[in-house]
């Protein structure tokens, strides 16, 4: 938003260009699949059906989407403050640690109505705390946030292994997992919730976290564009000099934006642990933090765009898994390549077509420009 020169109309910038980027990724993927002697159209069909074709697949798609919304929003909030938060992965992991600690400590004592807010709060606090350290180092010491957040992903991973092996492991078992949470800490699955309303749907990991993700979209939208803090965040992100002129301390805003960002990443822990795993375990962050960067870039750091981009990546995850399951020629590695191509074209190369599109648009609309 902030970085976009006001040359291209919005429907091209946030509508057409991302679509073209995704299409390009699919074309290249198709060529790759054809080169392997497989039918790209059949593969596309399997993926689409695998992502949207039946109730269970839809459930999985939306379950992945939930994670991507959290991490995508996290990247977007930091981005509005001019920060590139690469640490979503570690912050999500730590958010889960917060959920785990809260649930293991309190699940015997508190009812669900209290466990849910406590879990959400713990996820936010731990995620924010993990983002606070790089933010502080950036704001006060000038350590580059990209470097520190990357490093904090590794620290988070190591810390989690240590804690699970030495502290939280359920006695008498080999695998590094905690005991199962009491049911008071379980977030109902969507199929259960719909069942209470009398609707029969297939089982899937999709749980009520999806609603919290959508609430977060609304909150982020309100925060960034309708509150004083959002105004300050956008001012610092657009121009730190102007912020100092306006009496806004950039250091404080950097820390604020990063803590909000970390809290949003932390909510992955709610979806994964309260919603699905019901225990503290390893590797549940599974790359969602990194994919959040592509989600945010593709969604142009706007909640609506992020919902759409999350849906795309959710479909890719689920459809890809289905494809690997259906046809042995599509190894999980190939699926990762396809997902990687989408990330490459819509994330890393998202501005590749911007220049040509601008020139083309200017040439086509030149007469009106001269009039204006």
Partner 1 sequence: MTTAGPPAVAPAIALRGINKQFGPVRANRDVSLTVPAGTIHGIVGENGAGKSTLMSILYGFYQADSGEIEVAGEARKIHGPEDALAVGIGMVHQHFMLVDVFTVLENILLGAEGGPLLAGGMAAARAEVTRLETEYGLEVDPDAIAGGLAVGLRQRVELLKALYRGANILILDEPTGVLTPQEADRLFDILRAMRARGVTVILITHKLQEIMAITDNVSVMRAGQMVAHRRTAETTREELAELMVGRQVLLRVDKSRAQPGVTALRAEALSLTDGTGVKRLDGVSFDLRAGEIVGIAGVSGNGQSELLEVLSGIRPPSQGNLTVHDRVIDREHPADAAELRALGLAHVPEDRQRMGMIPAFAAWETAILGYHQDPAYSGPVLLKSADIVTDTESKMARFDVRPPDPQLTSESFSGGNQQKLVLAREIERHPDILLVGQPTRGVDIGAIEFIHRQLIEMRDRGCAVLLVSVELEEILSLSDRILVMFEGRVVGEVDGAEADARTIGLMMANALDAEAVNG
Residue 167 CA to residue 176 CA, distance in Å, equals 10
Taking the CA of residue 262 as centre, how many other CA atoms within 13 Å lie in the half-sphere pointing to its CB? 32
Do 84 and 254 touch, CB atoms closer than 8 A?
Answer: no
How buried is 282 (Cβ within 10 angstroms: 0-12 exposed, 13-18 middle, 19+ buried)? Answer: middle
Q: Which stretch binds partner 1 (CB under 8 A): 184-192, 246-254, 304-312, 339-347?
A: 246-254
Q: Name the residue with tokens 């459930």.
A: 59
The only residue of 202, 242, 348, 369 in contact with partner 1, by rule CB under 8 A: 242
C-beta of 6 vs 35, nearer to partner 1: 6
The only residue of 80, 189, 191, 234 in contact with partner 1, by rule CB under 8 A: 234
Asked if 226 is part of the footprint of partner 1 (rule: CB under 8 A), the reply reads yes
Q: Which stretch binds partner 1 (CB under 8 A): 66-74, 79-87, 226-234, 344-352?
A: 226-234
Residue 85: in which H helix or E strand, if any?
Answer: none
Identify the DSSP state of 207: B
- Nearest CA-CA partner of 131 in 93, 102, 103: 93
**Tokens of residue 95, six digits:** 């958010």
Q: Which stretch binds partner 1 (CB under 8 A): 111-119, 225-233, 260-268, 273-281?
A: 225-233
Residue 116: in which H helix or E strand, if any?
Answer: helix 112-136
The only residue of 114, 161, 199, 244 in contact with partner 1, by rule CB under 8 A: 244
Q: Which stretch binds partner 1 (CB under 8 A): 10-18, 139-147, 174-182, 222-230?
A: 222-230
Q: Name the residue with tokens 């699905």.
A: 276
**Tokens of residue 4, six digits:** 């976009």
Quote the least distance from Cβ 5 to partner 1, whole Å.
Answer: 8
C-beta of 164 vs 243, nearer to partner 1: 243
Asked if 241 is part of the footprint of partner 1 (rule: CB under 8 A), the reply reads yes
> Rounded to whole angstroms, what are the CA distances from 174 to 24, 31, 59, 372?
46, 45, 32, 72
Q: Which stretch binds partner 1 (CB under 8 A): 11-19, 230-238, 326-334, 356-364?
A: 230-238
Residue 72 CA to residue 293 CA, distance in Å, equals 6
Q: Name the residue with tokens 């109505």.
A: 113
Quote the least distance from Cβ 142 to partner 1, whole Å.
Answer: 12
The only residue of 199, 249, 283, 359 in contact with partner 1, by rule CB under 8 A: 249
The only residue of 183, 203, 227, 365 in contact with partner 1, by rule CB under 8 A: 227
Residues that bind partner 1 (CB under 8 A): 1-4, 6, 222, 226-228, 231-232, 234-235, 238-239, 241-242, 244-249
């Amino acid at each position: 938003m902030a970085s976009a020169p006001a040359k291209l109309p919005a429907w091209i910038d946030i509508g057409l260009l991302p679509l073209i980027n995704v299409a390009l990724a699919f074309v290249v993927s198709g060529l790759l699949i054809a080169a392997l002697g497989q039918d790209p159209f059949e593969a596309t069909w399997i993926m689409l059906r695998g992502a949207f074709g039946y109730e269970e697949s839809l459930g999985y798609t939306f379950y992945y989407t939930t994670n991507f919304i959290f991490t995508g929003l996290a990247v977007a909030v930091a981005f509005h403050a001019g920060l590139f938060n690469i640490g979503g992965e570690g912050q999500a992991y730590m958010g889960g640690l917060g959920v785990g600690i809260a649930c293991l400590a309190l699940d015997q004592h508190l009812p669900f109505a209290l466990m849910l807010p406590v879990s959400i709060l713990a996820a936010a606090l731990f995620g924010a705390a993990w983002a606070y350290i790089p933010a502080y180092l950036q704001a006060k010491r000038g350590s580059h946030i990209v470097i520190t957040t990357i490093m904090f992903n590794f620290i988070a991973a190591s810390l989690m292994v240590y804690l699970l092996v030495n502290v939280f492991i359920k006695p008498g078992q080999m695998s590094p997992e905690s005991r199962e949470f009491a049911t008071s800490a379980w977030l109902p699955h969507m199929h259960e919730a719909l069942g209470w309303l009398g609707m029969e749907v297939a089982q899937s990991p999709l749980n009520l976290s999806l609603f919290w993700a959508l609430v977060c979209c609304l909150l982020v939208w309100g925060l960034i564009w309708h509150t004083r803090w959002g105004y300050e965040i956008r001012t610092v992100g657009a121009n730190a000099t102007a912020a100092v002129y306006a009496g806004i301390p950039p250091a404080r805003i950097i820390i604020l934006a990063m803590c909000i960002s970390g809290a949003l990443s932390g909510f992955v822990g709610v979806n994964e642990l309260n919603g699905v795993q019901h225990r503290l375990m390893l590797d549940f962050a599974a790359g969602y933090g990194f994919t959040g960067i592509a989600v945010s870039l593709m969604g142009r750091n706007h909640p609506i765009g992020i919902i759409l981009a999350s849906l795309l990546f959710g479909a890719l995850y689920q459809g890809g898994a289905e494809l690997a399951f259906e046809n042995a020629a599509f190894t999980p590695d190939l699926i990762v390549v396809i997902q990687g191509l989408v990330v490459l074209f819509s994330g890393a190369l998202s501005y590749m077509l911007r220049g040509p599109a601008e020139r083309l648009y200017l040439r086509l609309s030149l007469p009106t420009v001269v009039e204006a």
